[in-house]
Chain A
């Protein structure tokens, strides 16, 4: 009996040590490993409705340039939302061959254009094995333009283009980037609606931390200013319909009178690698990608839920090993929907408490609309450029804030603010929430 009791005590001690000591050790080990393997951003590329190339985009963003216009790429007279953030001067012939243009959807072409910039910006990656070079890309709709065009032909009993499937598939852009640059490592595509690009960047971080790649080209691309996608979001009453005659005032995150989001298109690409290796090859280092958090609302397929957003931000902060009060800037998801902007405001207050009032917040979507799967990548680029330049771009169209949106959203004018830590939010249908944390190095 005594023997049994002693054995029981030993077991209890063992399990107590497991419960109380092991998690502490894991946390210690985790932070030790992270502190010795910082992941940095060493290349950027962007195509957006307010400019292509980092310099052009950032100059436009800090000057509050507006990229929302009446839809040009199709006759939208039968739509209730007739405005969008389109890339008006995009010419794939300037960087793709005839056959490549025929074999690629517009979202892939936008991704390739941004990837070309990012690869040039990153400099030579010849010191790495091709099998260690990965791609992790996000897109909500993939090649939906191709899908729509081919479906229309099929319904008219016409032949469809032979590259319909490889143009439409969501991983087309990632595959083309890999093919163009001989990136023979992991090749992933993430489709989590409006948070796709955020998840893709987080997956890229994980690939580097777990040693599954040495470099990751990551980000998002979207090109769905299209009759069916516009009609689809209209049917959900998600799009702005009250500003068709005044497009520049339609995307108005946190503002009184906002009535939905404005569709946008674009692509943003980041080059990620380990800091030590980046320094060794003499790369320009923009920032550290310090943390990634992801959480599902598990509540509603389209309505946002504060708890999921809080969980994503808290997880990212914990992952980065920082204190919430060190966050200087938030690039908000802020789509300009009546409910979404309030929920995000409340989530930020919940996570940061009194410090929420000290944080500069801004909404890139106020200038370019909602680029769906590219939005987190573009928001991340804005956050990184804020760290680099000490300037926070404004949220335009914010003359009068919604009384329920009462934080500092950097209204209408850029703000000079030295920032060391920036958080980027991306929330998507399906209740998917992503937060990324960038920090100065």
Chain B
């Protein structure tokens, strides 16, 4: 899975997890806060992302995640373990 594919799939994944957001406006730079995701929502989001993309997020590395791109980059850098 190339980076563009990952970006598309992550955005599609996030669109299925948020409420009261125009999903067509979600892009890599979208901040979690503007997507209405509080700190507990982000923990749930990353748990679901692990299941969906077959990666394991390390606590130390995700604590500063604040936008969609952080997830895309993380999956891209660990894509050997991600499903194609």
Contacts and interface: CB of A to CB of B under 8 A. Distances in A.
B17 A162 contact: no
B47 A162 contact: yes
A2 interface: no
Contact of B19 (A97, A159, A162, A163): A97
Nearest to A163: B44
Q: A-side binding surface: helix, strand, loop or mixed?
A: loop
B33 interface: no
A161 B47 contact: yes
Task: Classify chain B's interface size.
Answer: 10 to 19
Interface string A90-112: 00000001111011000000000
B41 interface: yes
Task: Classify chain A's interface size.
Answer: 10 to 19
A102 B44 contact: yes
Contacts of B43: 162
Nearest to B16: A98
B50 interface: yes
B56 to A, nearest CB: 8
A99 B41 contact: yes
Nearest to B56: A159
A161 B44 contact: yes
A161 to B, nearest CB: 6
Contacts of B50: 159
B22 to A, nearest CB: 14
A423 B16 CA distance: 47
A163 B16 CA distance: 18
Contact of A103 (B16, B20, B44): B44
Contacts of A97: 19-20
Contacts of A98: 16-19
Contacts of A100: 19
Interface string B1-23: 00000000000000011111000
Nearest to A103: B44
Interface of A: 97-100, 102-103, 159, 161-163
20 contacts: A97-B19, A97-B20, A98-B16, A98-B18, A98-B19, A99-B17, A99-B18, A99-B19, A99-B41, A100-B19, A102-B17, A102-B44, A102-B48, A103-B44, A159-B47, A159-B50, A161-B47, A162-B40, A162-B43, A163-B40
Closest 4 A/B residue pairs (Cβ): A97-B19, A162-B43, A162-B44, A98-B19
